[in-house]
């Protein structure tokens, strides 16, 4: 008698937010892969975010959807998704994410907040309360596994392009990412310039600057590179190539931005500059922090594993506002007050000896 075929559940993880938020869903995706190694596991993201998952062996397929589309385009998109999956999991508490979950899967697991309407709640099979102040985002996302009874794993999986670095970047490399997306997370340009000059005085090293291709970012990074004679890679690398670069560095320094989260996940010693953002929720997850506990407390310079988190001074820190003027274009005094000498004191001497060991490669799952 022939045995009946084994039916494995299929999963869709919905992450309709920015790059950093998408990266912090990788422990959820990794947990699903470990718990359900033979199941189909896809991810739905907004256009422009796909690169954060490049080379991720846990994912079968990435679905990109546009931020905005005509009703005809949306209808075609929804028809293609209609009940394709057993489960849809959404760490995003939004009507759009819940609607995608309802369309795509028979069983929907997601978060709701006090502003979620009754109708939007009804789109979910399991509605969990959203809590975003005392729990790290990774641990919060992993709560979506509880209705499944699945085991949680907290490893962040950064992208990789398997990029072979030029010979000039293969030794004594320090990577600095000086420009965040928003002004209220930025450190002054003159401070970056002074820091790099001091590092070069004290340590024989190669300094490479990374950044995106927006005009403001290119101009900022180019100005820093020109005044410090550093290698300017802004706008030249994909996210995965940037991660490969950082993985081969002996030190990374950056602000509160997605690339700093990538650096922490590679195992490279990372110095992260934090201002008004709550590190309990958004601090970079150290590569070897394998415990389901918050890595960080709310205030103070802290060190755990390969990450040193430097927080600006002041009794209001972290205020969790968008800068002192409470808008994304404002400055944050607590960041401006972080001194070059503070950062220099946190850099090991010499910074590039010994070079950190690279983590073992992930095994590709077999369907």
Residues 122/103, Cβ–Cβ less than 8 Å: no
For 359, the token pair is: 């983590």
Mean pLDDT in residue range 225-244: 95
At 161-200, the pLDDT tens digits run: 988 888 878 788 999 999 998 888 999 999 999 999 999 9
Map residue 341 onto helix, strand or coil.
Answer: helix
Q: Is residue 76 part of a domain?
A: yes
At 119-149, the pLDDT tens digits run: 999 999 999 998 877 899 999 999 999 999 9
**Could you tell me if 185 and 143 lie in one domain?**
no
Q: Is residue 259 part of a domain?
A: yes
Which residue matches tokens 């003159």? 190
What's phi and psi for 195, nearest 5 deg? -60, -45
**Could you tell me if 76 and 141 lie in one domain?**
yes
Full residue range of the structural domain in which residue 206 is found: 167-346
Angle at 135 between CA 132 and CA 136, to 5 degrees: 95
Indicate the pTM of the whole model. 0.90
| Chain center to CA of 74 | 28
What CATH number is attached to the domain comprising 59?
3.40.50.2000
Helix (H) or strand (E) holding 197: helix 189-202
Output the pLDDT for position 106. Answer: 95
**Could you tell me if 224 and 132 lie in one domain?**
no
Least confident interval from 247-256, 276-285, 358-367: 358-367
What's phi and psi for 63, nearest 5 deg? -105, 120
- Beta bridge mates, 45: 15, 64
Total domains in the chain come to 2
Q: Which of 114, 148, 182 is where one domain is finished?
A: 148
pLDDT above 70 (res 93): yes
Dist CA 72 CA 84 (whole Å): 20
Percent helix / strand / coil, the chain, rounded to 5: 35, 15, 50
Instruction: Please name the residues in contact with 4: beta carbons below 8 A apart, sequence gap of 6 or more.
Output: none
**Could you tell me if 197 and 106 lie in one domain?**
no
**Could you tell me if 203 and 102 lie in one domain?**
no
Angle at 108 between CA 71 and CA 280, to 5 degrees: 100
């Amino acid at each position: 008698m022939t045995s009946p075929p084994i039916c494995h559940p299929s999963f869709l993880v919905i992450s309709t937010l920015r790059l950093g938020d998408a990266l912090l869903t990788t422990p959820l995706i990794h947990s699903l892969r470990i718990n359900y190694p033979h199941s189909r596991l896809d991810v739905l993201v907004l256009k422009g975010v796909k690169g954060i998952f490049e080379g991720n062996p846990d994912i079968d397929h990435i679905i990109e959807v546009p931020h905005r589309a005509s009703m005809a385009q949306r209808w075609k998109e929804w028809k293609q998704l209609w009940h394709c999956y057993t489960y849809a999991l959404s760490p995003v508490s939004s009507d759009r994410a819940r609607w995608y979950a309802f369309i795509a899967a028979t069983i929907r697991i997601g978060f709701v907040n006090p502003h979620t309407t009754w109708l939007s709640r009804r789109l979910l099979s399991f509605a969990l309360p959203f809590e975003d102040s005392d729990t790290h985002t990774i641990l919060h996302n992993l709560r979506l596994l509880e209705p499944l009874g699945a085991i949680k794993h907290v490893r962040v999986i950064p992208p990789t392009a398997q990029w072979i670095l030029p010979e000039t970047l293969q030794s004594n490399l320090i990577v600095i990412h000086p420009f965040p997306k928003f002004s209220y997370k930025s450190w002054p340009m003159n401070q970056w310039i002074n820091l790099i000059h001091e590092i070069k005085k004290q340590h024989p090293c190669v300094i490479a600057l990374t950044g995106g291709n927006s005009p403001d970012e290119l101009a900022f990074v180019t100005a820093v590179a020109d005044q410090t004679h550093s290698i300017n890679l802004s706008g030249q690398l994909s996210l995965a190539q940037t991660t490969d670069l950082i993985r081969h560095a002996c030190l990374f320094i950056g602000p509160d931005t997605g690339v700093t989260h990538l650096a922490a996940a590679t195992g490279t010693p990372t110095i992260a500059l934090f201002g008004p953002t709550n590190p309990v929720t958004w601090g970079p997850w150290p590569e070897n922090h394998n415990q389901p506990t918050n890595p960080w407390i709310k205030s103070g310079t802290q060190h755990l594993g390969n990450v040193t988190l430097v927080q600006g001074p002041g009794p209001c820190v972290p205020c969790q506002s968008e800068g002192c003027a409470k808008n994304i274009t404002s400055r944050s005094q607590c960041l401006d007050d972080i001194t070059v000498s503070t950062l220099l004191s946190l850099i090991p001497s010499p910074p590039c000896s010994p070079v950190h060991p690279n983590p073992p490669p992930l095994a590709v799952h077999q369907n």
